[in-house]
Structure 1
C-alpha cells in the first residue's frame, strides 16, 4: 500500500506547524475532508484516515459553540488517528483546538492558501502520488498530440517505427518499458523509467540517446495514452478489417482504450500508418468517422440503383 509522510506535505506546500506533535504520521488515501458534520456532533461516517482541513467556515462555527461543548467535540475529533489537521488562510486556531491536537498527537499545520485553492492543490498532489500504476512492454510516442502506445512481439519493429516518427518531428516518451499510471478521472498517463529516459535500443546499432541526437523537442517526460497500436506479423490466412467499422478496445488498469491492429510486412511504411491512425483518432474524437461515412454513402448508392 502506498503512503506519504506528513513531513513531505510540510515540505511540498511550505506548511507551518502550530504545535509540538511529531510529524511522523502518514497519509494513506488521496481524499481530504472538511469536518463540518463532526464539529456539529455527527461522527457516524467520519473518515479519520483523511487529511482534515479547517477553513473560515469551520473556525467560525466552533467559535460560536459553548466552551464545554467545543472542548468535548474537539477532543473526540482528535481522539481518532488523524494524519494531520491543516488550517487555511493562516487563520489563528482557538486554543482548544491546539490543545486537543497536542493531546491527540496530531500535527496541527497552517497554510497561506485559501481553503478551496489548497484543497485543489493537495488533492491533485495526493491523487498523483496514490494513482495505481503498471509497467508494460512497448513504446510510447506523441503524434500530433495523440499518445500512441505501440505494442507487439519483440523484434516486430516498435522502436524502429518510433524512431521514424521522431525523425518526422514527433516525440518519444518511452522505449521498451512504459510505466502507466491511472488517474482518478479515468485517464492513463505513461512515462519512461528514470534509468532509460530518452534512451532507445535499436537492434544492430545498440543504445542511442534520442534527446542528444535530435534535440530536446524530440522527447517529452510523460504523455496521456489515447490509442493502442498493436503490431503483428502479416498473416495471409487472417481476415483483416479493411473498413475500420469494428473498433477494437483494450483495458489497462480498468480503463478502456481504443486499439488498432497493424499487420507488418516488408515494405510497409509503419510510421506513415501510425501518423494516419493518430489523425483519424482525432477526427473520430471530433465526431467524424470516415468508415461510417463511407458505408452510409455506399448504402445510399446501392439503394438509388
Structure 2
C-alpha cells in the first residue's frame, strides 16, 4: 500500500509547470485523492476548509480572486496555506497573482500550473491519486492481456503457469506480471493488477532462469497494468475427479474485495494449455456480449428431443 504520493511525482506524471516551489517544497506529501475547489474559502468562509487536499483553481476561482484587493488576496491565500496543504494547482494556463506566489513562497507550498481544462485536470488528478493511494495486496499467479481481457492464471505449484504465459506472449498477447501480481480495487466492480517493481517485464522459466520479456519480444509484448476480469485456474488432471464438460458450472472467486469469474482447467500431457486459455478468454468475452454456446447446445438438444418425441 502506498500511503503517500510526493508532489514531485504528481508533477512528473502530469507534466505540470512549477510556478514556484523548490526541491524541498516538492517533497510535500499528498495523502488523499480528493481534490478541493476553494470557492467558499476565497469569500472568507473557512469553517469546513479541506486544507489537506490539493487546492485546484479554475477559471471561476481565478476570476473571483481578481475582483479582490491585493490585501484581501494575500490575506485569504495565507489562510489557505496550512502545514499539511500539499500544493496549489491552476488550470487552463491561467495567470496567477503575485499574492498567490508570495503566500506559497512564505509557507513553502508548491504552486503548479497546467494548460488543460479544469474538469479534465480534476479527473486526471483523481484517477492518478486514487490508483497510487489505493490499498494493495498481492496474489500468486501470472497476469496476461489476452485479446484485451485481463486473465489471471493461477494453479498448483510447478504446473506451468509461467510457461503458459510465455507461449501466450509468443502468440501475440501481452504480459503484465509474473509470479506476484499486485492488485488494488479501483472501484466497487474493478480490480487492477500490476507487477511488483522488482519483477516488471520479467518472467521465470524453470531450467532457463529469469528472462526479460520486453528485451526479447519488444515493448508491444508487455504492459504496465490491466483490469483483472477472469481467473483461469490450472490443476493437475486426475482420473478420479469429474470435470465440467459443458461449461455451465459458473464459479466466482473474490480478490481484493471484487468478485471475479473463475474457470478451472485440468492439465495433463498432450493438452495445449495456452490455446485453451486463449479460447477460454474468447468464450468469456462472447458470454459477456450475450452469446452462450452452452445455452445454444441445450436449446438444440431440447428441440431434438421434442422432434423425436413427436415421431
- Match of 1:271, SS state, is helix
Match of 2:6 in 1: 5
Match of 2:119 in 1: 116
Matches within 5 A, 1:272-291: 272-291=275-294
Preserved contact between residue 53 and residue 86 of structure 1 (Cα < 8 Å)? yes
Structure 1 distance, partners of 2:93, 2:278, is 52
The aligned runs of 1:167-182 (5 Å cut-off) are: 167-182=170-185
1:295 aligns with 2:298: yes
Greater CA drift, 52-61 or 108-117:
108-117
Whether the 8 Å CA contact 1:21–1:106 is kept in 2: the answer is: no
Q: 1:83: which partner in 2?
A: 86
Q: Distance in 2 between matches of 1:18 and 1:196?
A: 37
Cα drift, residue 89 of structure 1: 3.1
Contact 1:127 1:184 in 2 (8 A): no
Distance 1:96 1:216 in 2: 47
Q: Residues of 2 paired with 1:171 and 1:79: CA distance?
A: 45
Distance in 1 (CA, whole Å) between partners of 2:119 and 2:257 is 30
CA shift in 2, pair 1:295/1:116, >3 Å: same
Hey, what does 1:160 align to over in structure 2?
163
Alpha-carbon offset, residue 229 of structure 1: 0.4
RMSD value over aligned CA atoms?
3.2
Structure 1 CA distance, aligned partners of 2:82 and 2:275? Answer: 63
Q: Residue deviations 1:155-190, cap 9 Å, x none?
A: 112123223333433333332222334434743333
User: SS where residue 158 of structure 2 aligns?
Assistant: coil
TM-score w.r.t. the length of structure 1 is: 0.83
Choose from 188, 191, 194 the match for 1:188.
191
Corresponding position of 1:47 = 50
Q: What's the offset of the Cα at 1:79?
A: 4.8
CA contact (8 A) 2:18 2:110 kept: no
Q: CA deviation at 1:280?
A: 0.2
Task: Give the unaligned 5+ runs of structure 2.
Answer: none
Moved more, 266-275 or 225-234: 266-275
Shift of residue 60, structure 1, vs aligned partner = 1.8
| TM-score normalised over the length of structure 2 | 0.81
- Whether 2:204 is the aligned partner of 1:201: answer yes
Aligned to 2:18: 16
The 1:109/1:216 distance shift into structure 2, 3 A limit, reads closer
Separation (CA, whole Å) in 2 of partners of 1:246 and 1:43: 57
SS of the residue 2:153 aligns to: strand
Write the distance in 2 (CA, Å) between the matches of 1:260 and 1:131. Answer: 28
- What's the CA shift for 1:83? 1.3
Aligned to 2:30: 27
Task: Pick the aligned partner of 1:61 from 64, 69, 85.
Answer: 64
Supply the distance in 1 between the matched residues of 2:23 and 2:273 (Cα, whole angstroms): 60
1:122-133 aligned within 5 A: 122-133=125-136
Asked if the contact 2:21–2:108 (Cα under 8 Å) also holds between the matched residues in 1, the reply is: no
* Alpha-carbon distance in structure 2 between the residues aligned to 1:224 and 1:191: 9
Number of corresponding residues: 305
CA distance 1:72–1:277, change in 2 (3 Å)? same
CA contact (8 A) 2:146 2:281 kept: yes
Greater mean alpha carbon deviation, residues 207-216 or residues 247-256 = 207-216
Residues 122 and 291 of structure 1: CA distance in aligned 2, closer, same or farther (over 3 Å):
same
Answer with 257-266 or 200-209: which moved more: 200-209
Structure 1 unaligned segments of length 5 or more: list them. none
